[in-house]
Amino acid sequence: MAVIKSQPPPKGHDSITVTDNRTGKTITIPITHNSIPATAFKALKSVAPVSEDGIDTDDTANGIRVFDPAYLNTAAISSKITFIDGDKGFLMHRGYPIEQLAEKSDFLETAYLLIYGDLPAKKQYDLWKYEVMHHTILADDLIKLIGSMRYDSHPMSVFISAFAAMGAFAPEANPALQGRNLYINNKEVMNKNIIRIIGKAATVAAASMRVRMNRPFIAPRADLGYAENMLYMMDSMSEGENYKPDARLAKALEILFILHADHEMNCSTSTMTHVGSSLVDPYSAVAAAAAALYGPLHGGANEAVIRMIEKIGTVENVPAFLEAVKEKKELLFGFGHRVYKNTDPRSKIIREVSEMVFEACGREPLIEVATALKDAALADPWFVEKRLYPNVDYWSGLIYKAMGFPLDFYPILFAVPRVAGWLAHWKQALDSSNAKIWRPRQIYIGESIRDYVPIEDRSEKEIKDSKDGVKELPHYQSRRRLQARL
């Protein structure tokens, strides 16, 4: 087992010294930005174990692998986009604290900042907004595709399907047709499709809502704000262009979009970057990222919060629920974060936004239960010791519920603004001079080499009974047909 020696580094250098106790070899690894290159450990090679088949399943000839399931302490990129200090509960984009952006910016300005590195000047912003809002219309065939979805389709299924299909409507944006380095060599094409994707994301989201409502799609309006236009496309009935969403709700949704626009290398963003490293078109990469966001451990968290609070029901039931959490009989959603070890700074802003929404829509009854649960948890040493503080999902679900969004639409409200963050990281990766396809290594722990046995010579495996007395096989088999055959 390799150990890190506690000895002074070479003069003038930040480094660590590692000794491989199998061979006695020592290497010095430089430290840059409080990180070391994992490839340095490839220098620590040992003799492959002797085996009859001569196969080195531990791959010792290529040095030591750094084993890090779920990327708990692995940095896959260097980035200038988002910084998080989890211990202090601090978040900033391109150097701007999230509190300032939420108070003073709007979503399209924040999206520009994330993607291009600086806040736009007035003329830049006006042109950027004009271009995005004039790329909101969907192709007729794409509208037909979305309209063909079942009324009870999950909105995220519609969103993912629409973006997967969208690339087919832009063959000029497909590296498979136009050349593998299309987005590396042609920044005009890159920027045009960034605008297209951001513009169309809100339209696809609104269309997915109209599908479930069994109502005709509403064309977007370029004269409205980004969130305002999305609300217009979802809510407009027979009023036509005379209808305008409540300004307070549009403002609240803009702030929520800013808060959700990027959050460093989370599951969906790393998916976008990973898939994008193959040089595929950005529509396919966005579809993949949205699929990652779809998972209940990522974009579905605020939906789980609402279901939890509804289950608690009343303020009086809060103490019993928290005791059940301690006894591992209940799950606590909306508290704690993989990165934040203090209060999620976005949760404070959202709590303030909620009052704006309640003023427009009426006070959400569940807010009393949510507040009581938050206060009780923060006053309980058990939760404080485990650093379980409310995160962004805790309050956002209550706001969405007050605004009338169905529970299964919550991940869509996460995906639309996160498209900006996905594109920012995608662009950053392709703009870097050392862009390579992502290809993690593995630790093989399976069978050693063995000979193929013809099927007639293989012994039958025991078919065990399941808990309900039905025969089981490792693979799926219709229980009715299995019982008939056995």
Measured CA to CA, the distance from residue 370 to residue 308 in angstroms comes to 10
- Residues forming beta bridges with residue 390, ordered by sequence position: 335
Measured CA to CA, the distance from residue 374 to residue 376 in angstroms comes to 6
Whether 393 is catalytic: yes
Question: Catalytic one among 56, 58, 246, 298?
Answer: 298
Q: Which two tokens stand for residue 335?
A: 């508290």
Interhelix angle for 155-166 vs 282-294, to 10°?
Answer: 160
Question: Catalytic one among 93, 263, 337, 425?
Answer: 337
Measured CA to CA, the distance from residue 379 to residue 376 in angstroms comes to 5
Whether 337 is catalytic: yes
Q: Which two tokens stand for residue 20?
A: 């491989």
What are the phi and psi torsion angles at 25 (to 5°)?
Answer: -75, 140
Q: Which two tokens stand for residue 73?
A: 């302490």
Q: State the CB neighbour count (10 A cutoff) for residue 378.
A: 14
Question: Catalytic one among 106, 281, 344, 393?
Answer: 393
Catalytic residues: 298, 337, 393
